[in-house]
A and B are shown apart, each in its own frame.
Chain A
Amino acid sequence: MSTKIVRRTIPLIITFIVGMLMIGEWFFNVASIDQVAESVRQWGVLVSAFAMGLGSVNIVIRNLRRIEKREGTDWLYAIWLLIVFFGFVGIGVGMGSASSQYQYIYNTILQPLSGTMYPATLFFLCSAIYRTFRIRSYQALLFVATGAVILVANAPVVAATFPLLVATKAWIMDVELTAAYRAILIGIGLGTIMLGFRVIFGLEQTHLGREEGD
């Protein structure tokens, strides 16, 4: 079968059919469309689960290759990754994710590490604010002043002590911020609709790679 048919034509046909089907299911009261769309939705759930499985296999293969090459010190981390990976998989599949053993390794390994990484955002955010929020122009002054008001008013002790600051923050959030985000939301919504149009009707093909001769 020609490469072009496999890499372009078939994916475009599938995209068109599924896209129109899901749009039809959303807008029209036609029982047969609903039934087919329900099946497609279930396939979507299955494909997502398969993607996770694919990713797991991908991780294992890549790290095995890293161990095989033994370049630098990365291969040592790859060994550790595979140990933890198969440990979690083995205990989870063998004893169940609700078992006390799985709970134990989750609570002692993953939970503290995840719990550390997310709040680490705070420190990077602080240094980013300190480094980049400079009043270089009138627009920057508005930017910094607005950010400062919200930053301070978010502190409960300040909010309780200075109600005016809270009212200012509420006005900024309810009026300015809401208006700006609504505008961006509308733009994103229209952009997504047009991207959908381009993808469904085959105008957008960059995700399929270049054609021969490009």
Chain B
Amino acid sequence: MTSEDNTIWDKLQTIPREVLYLLMIISMIIPLLSPLGLPIPISPQTRTLYDSLDTLQPGDVFVQFVDYSAGSMSFHEPGFIAITYKAVNKGAKLVMLSSSVEGPMMYEIVINKIKPFLDSAGYVYGEDYVYLGYTAGEETALAAIASNIRSVYTTDQYGTPLDDITLMQSVNNHEDFTMLISYTMGSPESFVRQFNTQYGVTTHIHCGEMMTPTILPFWASGQITGLLNGGVGAAEMEVLVGRPGDAVKLTDVYSFSNLIVFAFLIIGNIGFIMKGRMKE
């Protein structure tokens, strides 16, 4: 390497990635150990979801697709807890199911966290909430669920026939769903296609941040009523329902890690631009 290739501007462009990763890790650990409690603005997409949940009446059937996995649990679970808390406060009946393989495992983990407020609200399994388990088939299964839930599920996750479950005796297809939400990292569009486009069911989505830009057109057109943007959306929902939890703690991490990446973006371009001017 010549001295021309070893200026400060070259070094700014070739900072070892290990340095970047180390700074990222530090930027995540510090706010986790010592939360700053920075303010959280509420986005319009989260607001519409909250307002829609506010319209739930006692006895309405709120369907929740527990379709997230261990990888996205850090933000999907807080969102699920906050939304379920709101739905329970409105007295809605909860029908939970999964169209992703890890759904049942995620349910078994989260049910222990929502059991306290389910119990304090007097909710009884089978009468006020039920979990039907996993069904294979992805969008094919969603279409079948929308037209006739019994064509896909004959029992709940624990083997009880649907007809023996009080709640499910009055839930047969999309006509009985007041609204639904999918916590997914897969294909939110399939829920829009099979429920909202086909039958006009109010549909909400909680997806990862990288998916939000693509789902926004559906929210803008009204096909998706409420949209939670990953961890930030989950934090916003926790604030709105008055139950700050894990997602709110993570917003400081988002702030710092985003700023670190931004700083490196600027540093790399400073090196690139100054190197170019030096050559001229």
Contact = CB atoms under 8 A, between A and B. Distances in A.
A–B contact via C-beta, under 8 angstroms: yes
Contacts of B109: 107, 111
Instruction: Classify the interface of chain A: helix, strand, loop or mixed.
Output: helix
Interface string A99-120: 0000100110011111101110
B17 A127 contact: yes
A111 to B, nearest CB: 4
Contacts of B235: 156
Given A129-B264, A135-B269, A157-B252, A44 B137 contact: yes
Contacts of B152: 45
Contact of B144 (A42, A111, A136, A166): A42
B255 A151 contact: no
Decide if the interface of chain B is mainly helix, strand, loop or mixed.
helix
A182 B140 contact: no
B262 interface: yes
Contact of B269 (A42, A144, A170): A144
Interface in A160-195: 160, 166, 170, 173-174, 177-178, 181-182, 185
Nearest to B106: A111
Interface stretch (B65-73, B82-90, B114-122, B166-174): B65-73
Interface stretch (B38-46, B50-58, B176-184, B199-207): B38-46
A130 B265 contact: yes
B100 interface: no
B135 A155 contact: no
B259 A156 contact: no
Contact of A129 (B137, B140, B265): B265
Interface string A126-156: 1101110111100000001001100110111
Given A114-B69, A166-B41, A181 B214 contact: yes
A97 interface: yes
A41 interface: yes
Contacts of B138: 48
Contacts of B217: 178, 181-182, 185
Nearest to B43: A170
Contact of A98 (B104, B140, B147, B209): B104
Given A129-B265, A157-B252, A111 B41 contact: no
A49 interface: yes
A159 interface: yes
Contact of A160 (B40, B108, B259): B40
B60 to A, nearest CB: 27
B158 A152 contact: no
A105 to B, nearest CB: 11
Interface residues of B, number: 62
Contact of A48 (B105, B140, B254): B140
Interface string B185-197: 0000000000000
Nearest to A49: B136
B15 A44 contact: no
A211 interface: no
Contact of B255 (A49, A110, A155, A174): A155
A52 interface: yes
21 contacts: A41-B143, A45-B144, A49-B137, A52-B136, A111-B73, A114-B70, A127-B21, A130-B264, A134-B268, A135-B269, A135-B273, A144-B269, A151-B261, A154-B232, A154-B258, A155-B255, A155-B258, A156-B38, A157-B252, A158-B259, A181-B217
Interface of A: 38, 41-42, 44-45, 48-49, 52, 97-98, 103, 106-107, 110-115, 117-119, 122-123, 125-127, 129-131, 133-136, 144, 147-148, 151-152, 154-160, 166, 170, 173-174, 177-178, 181-182, 185
7 interchain residue pairs of minimum CB distance: A118-B71, A114-B70, A45-B137, A160-B39, A157-B255, A155-B258, A44-B140
Interface of B: 15, 17, 20-21, 24, 36, 38-41, 44, 69-74, 102, 104-105, 108-109, 135-138, 140-141, 143-144, 147-148, 151-152, 157-158, 209, 213-214, 216-217, 220, 232, 235, 251-252, 254-262, 264-266, 268-269, 272-273
